[in-house]
Amino acid sequence: MKDLHLIVIGKLKDKNLIALENDYLKRVKAPKLHIHECKGHKENIEIEVKELLSKVESIKSKFGNQHLVALSEHGKTMDSEKLSHYIFDVIENKQKGICFLIGGAAGFPKDFLEQCDFLLSLSPMTYPHKLARLIFVEQIYRAETIKAGHPYHKN
């Protein structure tokens, strides 16, 4: 089975958020979720995008072709079940891993978003970067439990 990758701008520093994220990461079994952190450059979004793309290329060389999904306020919203189906459709039918991308505070430039295979929005609301990351990691775990028919996700 192909792996999932979450590439984020910035690092988690809050020990409480780190503990929560690690708890979910321990639960995620298949597909495996790898988190890659890139340094943030608040003053230069172009440098952030270059670092992000460099990380994507590194993942492609190690893990094969990837489906790029940017988390963006301009993306499509979907419920947890649809997200689960989407993830497993890409992995099983398109035979690709998925790189999910979370940008810095300034988000992504429009031309970068146009290069992605899909744009996903967590919600019409705005979340702090660190919470969006945690919410997304939980949704990956939830997607796995939905696929497995596990009772964690209550319909």
Per-residue pLDDT tens digits for 96-113: 899 999 988 778 889 999
| Structural domains in the chain, sorted by start | 4-148 (3.40.1280.10)
The pTM for the full model equals 0.91
Average pLDDT estimate for 52-74: 92
Residue 87: band (very low, low, confident or very high) from pLDDT cuts 50, 70, 90: very high
Residue 86 has pLDDT above 90, yes or no: yes
Ordered DSSP codes for the chain: ---EEEEEES----HHHHHHHHHHHHH--SS-EEEEEE---TT-HHHHHHHHHHHHHHHHHHH--EEEEEEEEEEE---HHHHHHHHHHHHHHS--EEEEEE-BTTB--HHHHHHSSEEE-S-SS---HHHHHHHHHHHHHHHHHHHHT-TTS--
Residue 142: band (very low, low, confident or very high) from pLDDT cuts 50, 70, 90: very high
Residue 145 has pLDDT above 70, yes or no: yes
Residue 89 has pLDDT above 90, yes or no: yes
Residue 134 has pLDDT above 90, yes or no: yes
- Name the more confident of 46 and 76: 76
Task: Specify the pLDDT at position 1.
Answer: 65
